[in-house]
Structure 1
Amino acid sequence: MPDMASAELTAAATTARRLAEGERGLRAAPGGPRELTDLTGALNVLDKALAHSENRQREFLLSVSHELRTPLTATLGYAEALADGVVGPEELPMVGETLLSETRRLERFVQDLLDLAHLETDDFRVETRPVDLDALVGKAGTVWADRCARHGVVFRVERPGHALTVETDGVRVRQMIDGLAENALRVTPAGAPLVLALAPDGDGARLQVRDGGPGLTPEDAAVAFERGTLHARYQGVRPVGTGLGLAIVHRLAQRLGGTVTARGHGLEGGACFTVRVPGRPGATG
């Protein structure tokens, strides 16, 4: 029996090493004492988890390459036309506008990629201090009221109207507000509402961005913060962004010790995203 257990343990160690070297689809045969059976079972679960994670990464990279290719192709085509002198004077404004628009798309996408990568590093800094979220939401509301007006969207702010102070990173909270509002404005039709709401939540605060857009199915809400999932699902169906914005908001909320959740249909009929900001770093509310 000891020799058999030793052989099975050696086989499990070999499986673990092969997994570490990148092999997938391995199957550790169960058997032997309970501890050894638990070990082989864990190795099989790890194999499936690694394969799933790597498949998602592969799909994400394919999505990234597709998103980069479209503006790059347009930019390259117009740049070559300019270099070859085949663009007439009357076409120059249109070509310049297209080049600027596509370059900005590339810039936004690359910045989102960098932000997401930075959020995953150990040296990402959160600078906490007392922040009046009521004042912060008021300032954000001024900006988004103007942007919504340009799109014919009815913007509204709901806030206490008095100081609501928490220990947090105000820059990162504003980044989350902007990310959620950008996402909402993209899908909200003219004449429909977009709401930025703030309310106390225990010793912290609750931020919401609600819209009058098409909303989310339960399946959408379950994967809303996965990189590129909704982007791939709705590309060509309704306006989409880089596919990274909601993932960035989710990671920022975690970094601040809070949470962000998605609901398919809120008070205005469209999606509702709720961020809970704790009263102080590490607080669980």
Structure 2
Amino acid sequence: MRDAMSMPSLPDAHTLFQHAACGLLLCASDGTILQANATFCGWLGYGAGELLGKKKLQDLLTIGGRVFHQTHWLPLMQVQGSVSEVLLDMRQRQGQAIPMLFNAVRREHEGVRYDEIAVFVASDRRKYEQQLQLARNEAGILNEQLAAADRRKDEFLATLAHELRNPLAPLRNVLEVLRLAQLDDPQLCWARDVLGRQLGHMTHLVDDLMEVSRITRGRLELRRASVELAPVVEAALHSVASLAAQSGHKVHVEQWPHAIWLDADATRLGQMVSNLLTNAVKYTPVNGSIWLDVACTAQDVHLTVRDSGIGIAPEHLDTVFDMFSQLEPALSRAQGGLGIGLSLVRGLAELHGGSISARSDGVGQGSTFELRLPLPAVPLAAPAPVDRRLLAGTREGKVLVIDDSADAAESLALALDILGYEVRTAYDGPAGIAAAQAFTPRVILLDIGLPHMNGYDVARRLRGEPCGQHAILVAVTGWGQDKDRKMASDAGFDLHLTKPVDFYELDAVLQKMLQAS
């Protein structure tokens, strides 16, 4: 008894865990670190608070380690529930790679799966370096494959956008002709407005495809200005009104007491609100309800869109903002969409310094999406109003339209002619050059994808002719990537516009450039 009482006290279980001779981890099945002992944290240079619930095991691995984790570790854990003596390189906080041996076993407690992991610093450097080099080689091959797939994706999206924009261009031109005609017949006015709304919707879908691609590549630049929120919301509500009415939905809008001004890109702001409303309409069964509310704090504005729709299961809340993500019940619906709307909203919100979040009580309980955007530190002044009305017969100047699509060329020429411009058309490169020599236009609107000679070659040729040396060359094309704009500039174009061109913007540009020249 005296010997037992004289024995020194031993450390408790918590102390043993924290200061064990190896790194000890407890991770969720997706890799999220739930517990990590002091030994492991010390090896990597992190504090426990920086890891627990904030990082996944794979986040701490090198690129080669992540590849091995994805291709070997995860399948083994799924099949046999454990891995033994797995060598992976981890990245210390300072950036240095450190080889480590892993042993892991998957457990289950009250229906929840988790992984117990023991980690040892490796010592056999030559063996581990050989394995690391192999993993690096595999990662290099995989990275090359991923890069090639990413390039093919960008090329596909660009080609798809080009092919869709070409038929949209004559439709937009015809719409402008109808607007300039000042129709009196109510039925024709209704048809014109329907055409305008649906054309706008189609254009937005194409723009969304390219916007997501630009965001993922970090190449989207915002055109910030002082923007009032109310007109943007009203336009977004108008854009989904027809779709909501078709499904019998009631849209409830809470009125906010004062004007809210943001330092934002008006076009992108409209895309965010429209996509949130479209998402609510799409995922709400017939005769449902949708609520839109706006509230302000001292620093932010919160725009909330709530619906009585199909709801979101808890396990899907983290994936609703992923590209091409769609909830299963909506896939069979006619207005299923492309699955990029919410991904675009998240990207645009983050570019504006804001965020987007989703809440739902579960399947069948509806969903709530809250868009947060920062308010400017200094109140913004309202910009001068812009008159977008165009009056027939008020313009002058000679314009040549060169496009291999007769519908696109003739419809654009007709709209410009109604405004008062003197217009000629041509349908390929050689004919366009001949028309320019005979007509000597002040402005040449030139498509790129022409037969016989592409638009770049036509532009270079025109710049060498007396008729084109001082003419204003404008590329009007379905190709709208950054590289396309650079190629146009290098070929001698003064301006690059993407189809379908906003007619007011085109007229404003023509007037500005004609006056400057």
TM-score with structure 2 setting the length: 0.35
What is the Cα deviation at residue 154 of structure 1? 0.5
2:222 corresponds in structure 1 to 126
1:185 is paired with a residue of what secondary structure?
helix
Instruction: Determine the C-alpha separation between the residues in 1 that align with 2:201 and 2:376.
Output: 36
- Give the counterpart of 1:185 among 247, 270, 281: 281
Match of 1:207 in 2: 303
Alignment match, 2:211: 115
Q: Tell me if the contact between 2:283 and 2:330 (Cα under 8 Å) persists in the aligned partners.
A: no
Say whether the 8 Å CA contact 2:325–2:340 is kept in structure 1: no
Residue 96 of structure 1: aligned partner: none
In structure 2, the residue matched to 1:278 is 374
Asked if 2 retains the 8 angstrom alpha-carbon contact of 1:224 and 1:246, the reply is yes
CA distance in 2, matches of 1:190, 1:17: 48
SS across alignment from 1:230: coil
**Taking structure 1 as reference, are residues 106 and 223 closer, same or farther at Cα in structure 2, changes over 3 Å only?**
same
1:173 maps to a residue whose letter is: L
User: 1:206 and 1:234, CA in 2 relative to 1: closer, same or farther beyond 3 A?
Assistant: same
Matched, 1:37 2:98: yes
- Identify which of 228, 236, 244 aligns with 2:324: 228
Q: Per the alignment, do residues 121 and 154 of structure 1 end up closer, same or farther by CA in structure 2, a change over 3 Å counting?
A: same
1:270 shift after superposition: 0.9
Pair member with larger Rg? 2
Which of 325, 349, 355 is the equivalent residue of 1:253? 349
Of 142, 151, 155 in structure 1, the residue corresponding to residue 247 of structure 2 is 151
Structure 1 residues 29, 191: closer, same or farther in 2, change over 3 A?
A: closer
Unaligned runs of 5+ in 1: 1-15, 69-103
Give the drift of 1:170: 2.1
Cα drift, residue 105 of structure 1: 11
Displacement, 1:279?
A: 1.3
The one-letter amino acid of 1:37's match is I
- SS across alignment from 1:223: coil
Distance 1:255 1:188 in 2: 29
Q: Which residue of the partner structure matches residue 84 of structure 1?
A: none
What is the SS of the residue equivalent to 1:124? Answer: coil
The yes-or-no answer on 1:171 pairing with 2:232 is no
Greater displacement, 237-246 / 175-184: 237-246
Distance 1:253-1:181 versus aligned 2 partners, 3 A rule: same
The SS at the match of 1:209 is: strand
Alignment TM-score, normalising by the size of structure 1: 0.59
Q: Does the CA-based 8 Å contact 1:156-1:196 persist in structure 2?
A: yes
In the alignment, is the contact (CA less than 8 A) between 1:148 and 1:185 conserved in 2?
yes
| Greater percentage in strand | 2
- Structure 2 unaligned blocks of 5 or more: 1-61, 74-85, 101-128, 161-199, 378-517
**Structure 1 residue 276, shift from structure 2 partner:** 0.3
More helix by share: 1
1:106 CA drift (Å):
9.4
Given that 1:217 and 1:264 are in contact with CA atoms closer than 8 Å, whether structure 2 keeps it comes out as: yes
Q: Indicate how the Cα distance of structure 1 residues 114 and 204 shifts in structure 2: closer, same or farther if over 3 A, else same.
A: same
TM-align CA RMSD: 4.7
- In 1, Cα distance between the equivalents of 2:325 and 2:243? 27
Q: How many residues align?
A: 218
> Shift of the alpha carbon at 1:17?
10
> Post-superposition shift, 1:245?
1.3
Q: Do structure 1's residue 242 and structure 2's residue 331 form an aligned pair?
A: no
CA-CA distance at 1:107 after TM superposition: 7.8
Higher relative contact order (CA 8 A, sep 6+): 1
1:97 maps to none
